[in-house]
Amino acid sequence: MAEVSLKHIYKVYPNGTKAVNDFNMEIKDKEFIVFVGPSGCGKSTTLRMIAGLEDISAGELKIGDLIVNDVEPKDRDIAMVFQNYALYPHMTVYENIAFGLRLRKLPKDEIHKRVTEAAEILGITEYLGKKPKEMSGGQRQRVALGRAIVREPKVMLLDEPLSNLDAKLRTQMRAEISKLHSKLQTTFVYVTHDQVEAMTMGTRIVVMKNGFVQQIDTPKNLYNYPENKFVAGFIGTPQMNFFEGTLLKSGENVVINFDNSEAEITVPYSMLYKTKPSYLDGKTKVYIGLRPEDISLASDDVKNGKAVIKVSVSHKEELGSETLIYGDINLNGDGYVESSTRIIIKDNCEREINAGDLIDVALNLDKVHIFDAETEASVLPRIPEYNYLDCEVKGGKLGFLGTELVLPEAVKCADLKGELLIPTDAITFDGNIKAEVAACENINGVNLLALMLGGKRLYAVAPSLIGDKTVNIGVDLKKITIISNGENVVSPMPEINRFDCTFEKRKTVEKVEANGKVKNKKTAIFGFNVAGAFFKSSDDASQKIFAALGIKKAFSAPLKLECGVCDLHFTDSGIAAVAEETLDYGKEKFLKCKVGENTVYVKTETEYNGNVYLLPDFEKIGVVETEREIKII
Amino acid sequence: MEKKKLRSKKGAERATRILIYAVLIVISIIWLIPFLLLIIQSFNGNAGGGYGNSIFPEVWTFDNYVKLFTETDFPKWYGNTLLVSVVVTVFQTAIVLVTSYALSRLRFKMRKPLMNLMLILGMFPGFLSMTAVYFVLKEIHLTANPLGLILVYSASSAMQYYICKGFFDTIPKSLDEAARIDGASRQQILWKVILPLAKPIIIYTVLTAFIAPWGEYMFASLIMRGDTSMYTVAAGMKEIFLSQGNEYKYFTVFCAAAVVVSIPITVLFIWLQRYYVEGITGGSVKG
């Protein structure tokens, strides 16, 4: 019964390859988490790090309330099931299951009780006296499961446990493992490369690729709201169709043009409210994604459909209950090769379709996904990062969506017309702008509010769900960006300060009295050197740095010390900085300073000139190794 | 041509098999003849009589064996050899197993260079260092002492790691990992998981570790020099029975001694060979 918390977990091999990159996740008690991804994506490595079979290069792993980075596997209270079962061949099934309990010196009757219980749950009672080699694959995997469950672990780890079984047995064992999970009420972490296993078993799924987490969400959300093209293509069989194309806004509609094809469809702009306006210029390349099941051949759909396109059929795959039709929206194209115009349609209508036919298909536009052609990220994020608005600055006042805000000293600029970027989390609920609440939804714990202001939409992240019809809002001006003629006139203030620093060892000499004699006792202390100022690091922090970089590299690697703007304070002697200017945001004032080459910001009450000394709050600092970009603390 | 073509597959197979067996029978006869002669001569009543004369003795007798055990130092040598071999076997097996396990499972700095170094050093014949070893042993008063011989034989045991390590490498690492998660320490993994699976290779190690000192002549004759009662069988038989002038007197006794010497090895092999036959890793992991 335990939560598992992974914070900035990295696995870096001595040659510099990063197998796992900045893995962050909070696994709740009793959850069934599935890590899924193509081979080499780091999913097994992550699981093995949780198990303790693999060292953690950097980051913090907690099981329950305990940090277990340096805890032996046997003391982590976990059990693991391996892909190749890893049964002890010279022991009987009973001895295999009892092995861990015997090593833990449990009383004999207790061991017997637990083994027979586990055997009953898994239906292997009659095999208890047999050796593993006399058993089939499915039975062996049951024994391996039995060996794990008798230990009554806090966390069950399963590393592709079904990969060696045949298809029918796999389906059966899938259900049995799910049943086991609901029976045992423990946290399960399950690794697989099979997306069907992931979708059917997980309460939440972690999709990984090349060591990076792509998305963590429930199976339903992964299917409906993939955050990028990779997740969209990985989840669902046959995979999602991707077409290259462009979007062009015209009035209240958006026209989707497909490359290399005559096809063109129109969708209402309301579907693309959350999209950055620059995607709607008719030039920016995007991927248009649509699942095979969201394309219909039914005559009713085609007759009444708003988005009907022509497809030339190249071949089909008969699956019995349904037929997969392969074709091309480029009427001269070849549906055999995966291309930006190839289309796969899942069809269950009775109409006979043959290769070479030219057919009309109706696209279900509610289910369309659009991805950036370069970053492959969804351009329809569930929680948009910014509101993109037109604005005008006139006489020190910022006008947007029919309202005006007086610009404080720090963001004052000349009169202009341009674009205003307001992050969704920069809308505050203490201002005096009245806005209508159009919708309010909770997306994975974040309350997203759609507001109507001046006849346009404005998205805001709210601290709680809001039931009122209108709210009073304000804008946190230190987070906004104003762009005019392609140039940033006003840039947001960074929320985190970064200092170049190194990790150092210093010797101190203490005078110690022992047996009436005064002796010099030398001790070594470790700390950070930030622009000449030395700060002793906590033992915990030093250990993390040594663990991540090794003894030699710890003292030579270039590091960055990260510290929130609000966690930096003035002192009498600390990091020497030169005050450059005071930024007055009205309610708050910040001092912009230079430390060596780094520009940092400090919250201030009074104005400063010349030299100031700064002290970061060492409880809240972060440390990043810049060469390989590893967040150590 | 046509006949050849028509010949059935079965017939072809049988012909090949007959050929193979014929060759094998000839080879085994060639191999067995010296040993048979040795046994026959050990029963020859003419002391040294068989030396160049008839193959079959005119008088059959057990006297050679009686003489061997009553009139010569042979029983003493036999005891010495047994002591040295058994102790060396225990040491060498233990050292080889732990070395192989460490080299197979642990990853440490200089592991590869160390393995290469051991392999290369092992290629030099042991007698290169003979003189030096003798003087070192003399300094610490271990010449003409079975302890010295045990030390010399056991010292380079770790170099025999490669066959055993190769076997350990075939035991899946996930077994170690499963045991680690089950709560086993490194020693427990070696004792309770790896060694029970490594029976064939343990037998192999025991046999080679026993046979080598049992028949070794060069170091034994050098280190035990000066005290004939301390000789091992190999050294004793060569130095005493076959020394100049004695070969006629002792030839049949020598043959009897050879037969007696071969007994423990034969027994050991027959006893252990059933473990030798097949590995028992089947069923541990997907195979």
> What pLDDT digit, counting tens, does each position of A69-90 carry?
889 998 999 999 998 889 999 8
Range scoring the smallest mean pLDDT among A237-241, A256-260, B274-278 = B274-278
Radius of gyration of chain A (CA): 30
Claim to verify: residue A530 and residue A574 sit in the same structural domain: yes
Is B178 within 8 Å of A86 when comparing Cβ atoms? Answer: yes
Q: Same structural domain for residues A600 and A469?
A: no
Phi/psi of residue A271, nearest 5 degrees: -70, -25
CA distance A85 to chain B (A): 6
User: Quick one: pLDDT at residue A93?
Assistant: 93
Residue type, A347: D
Q: Which residue does chain A place closest to B194, by CA atoms?
A: A88
pLDDT digits (tens, 9 = 90+) for B35-84: 898 888 888 877 655 555 667 777 788 888 888 888 888 899 999 999 99
A210 in the same domain as A61: yes
Average the pLDDT over B114-133 and give the result.
87
**pLDDT of residue A214 exceeding 90:** yes
| Residue that is last in its domain, among A197, A232, A267 | A232
Distance CA(A17)–CA(A480), nearest Å, equals: 37
Number of helices (H) and strands (E) in chain A: give both, helices first. 10, 41
Tell whether A39 is covered by a domain.
Answer: yes
Smallest Cβ distance to B286: which of A52, A53, A84?
A: A84
Q: Do A82 and B180 touch (CB under 8 A)?
A: no
Whether A366 is in a domain gets the answer yes
Q: State ipTM.
A: 0.80
A133 → chain B, closest CA residue: B283
The first and second tokens of residue A370, run together, are 């659009």
Measured between beta carbons, which residues in chain B are less than 8 angstroms from residue A131?
283
Residue A241 confidence (pLDDT) above 80: yes
Of A84, A100, A137, the CB nearest to B172: A84
Same domain, A203 and A95: yes
Q: Which residues of B touch A73 (CB under 8 A)?
A: 177, 180-181
Q: Cβ separation of A86 and B175 shorter than 8 Å?
A: yes
Residue A602 pLDDT exceeds 90: no
Alpha-carbon gap: A151 to the closest alpha carbon of chain B (Å): 8
> Which H or E element spans position B257?
helix B247-276
| Residue A281 sits in the same domain as residue A309 | yes
* Long-range contact set of residues B46-53: C-beta below 8 Å, sequence gap at least 24: B46/B252, B47/B248, B47/B249, B47/B250, B47/B251, B47/B252, B47/B253, B48/B247, B48/B248, B48/B249, B48/B250, B48/B251, B48/B252, B49/B251, B49/B252, B50/B251, B50/B252, B50/B255, B51/B247, B51/B248, B51/B251
A chain contacts of residue B182, beta-carbon cutoff 8 Å: 74, 99-100, 103, 147, 151
- Check residue A102 and give its pLDDT: 92
On whether residue A378 sits in a domain, the answer given is: no
Q: Are residues A139 and A104 in the same domain?
A: yes
Chain B positions touching chain A (beta carbons under 8 Å) = 172, 174-175, 177-184, 188, 192-193, 196-197, 280-286
How far is A237 from chain B, CA to nearest CA, in Å?
28
Residue of A nearest to B177 (CA): A53
Based on the fold, state whether residues A367 and A354 are members of the same structural domain: yes
Residue A149: closest C-alpha in chain B: B182
Task: Let me know whether A449 and A588 are in one domain.
Answer: no
Interface A–B counts its CB contacts (< 8 A) at 84
Query: Which of A192-196, A216-220, B66-70 is predicted least confidently?
Result: B66-70
Q: Give me the CATH topology for the region B78-281.
A: MetI-like fold (1.10.3720)
Average pLDDT score over residue span A278-306:
85
pLDDT of residue B287: 38
Give residue-wise pLDDT tens across range A479-530.
888 888 888 888 888 888 888 888 888 888 877 777 777 778 788 888 888 8
**Distance between B117 CA and the closest CA of chain A, angstroms:** 24
- Hey, of A48, A78, A99, which one would you mutate to test binding to chain B, going by the most B CBs within 10 A of its CB? A99
Number of domains in chain A: 4
Tell me which chain B residues have a C-beta less than 8 angstroms from the C-beta of A130.
none
Verify that A336 and A398 share a domain, yes or no.
no
Q: Mark yes or no for CB contact A86/B286 under 8 Å.
A: no
To test the contact with chain A by mutation, choose from B108, B112, B182, B188 the residue with the greatest count of A C-beta atoms within 10 A, namely B182
Return the pLDDT at B99: 92
Tell me how far apart the alpha carbons of residues A297 and A346 are, in angstroms, rounded to a whole number: 9
Give the DSSP H or E segment for B145: none
Does some domain include residue A380?
no
Domain boundary among A337, A372, A407: A372
Distance from CA of B169 to the nearest CA of A (A): 15
Which chain A residues are closer than 8 Å to B179 by Cβ? 88, 99
Residues in chain B: 287
Closest chain B C-alpha to A140 CA, distance in angstroms: 9
B168 near B244, Cβ under 8 Å? no
Residue A441 and residue A293 share a domain = no
Is A377 inside a domain boundary?
A: no
Residue A552 sits in the same domain as residue A472: no
Cβ-Cβ contacts under 8 Å for A473 (sequence gap 6 or more): A427, A428, A429, A431, A433, A435, A451, A460
| Alpha carbon distance A137, A124 (integer Å) | 13
Once rounded to an integer, what is the mean pLDDT over residues A116-125? Answer: 90
Q: Please name which of A166, A131, A159 lies closest in space to residue A145, comparing C-alpha atoms.
A: A159
Range of the domain at A359: 237-372
Q: Is there a contact between B286 and A78 if contact means CB atoms under 8 Å apart? A: no
**Contacting residues for B101 by C-beta, under 8 A, at least 6 apart:** B168, B190, B194
Nearest-Cα distance to chain B for A131, in Å, is: 8
SS3 assignment, position B48? coil
Give the model's confidence band at B283: pLDDT under 50 very low, under 70 low, under 90 confident, else very high.
Answer: very low
Residue A594, both tokens: 């230079």
Average pLDDT of the segment spanning A603-622 = 83
Query: What sign results for the dihedral spanned by CA atoms B174, B178, B179, B185?
Result: positive
Answer yes or no: do A418 and A532 share one domain.
no
pLDDT of residue A311 exceeding 90: no
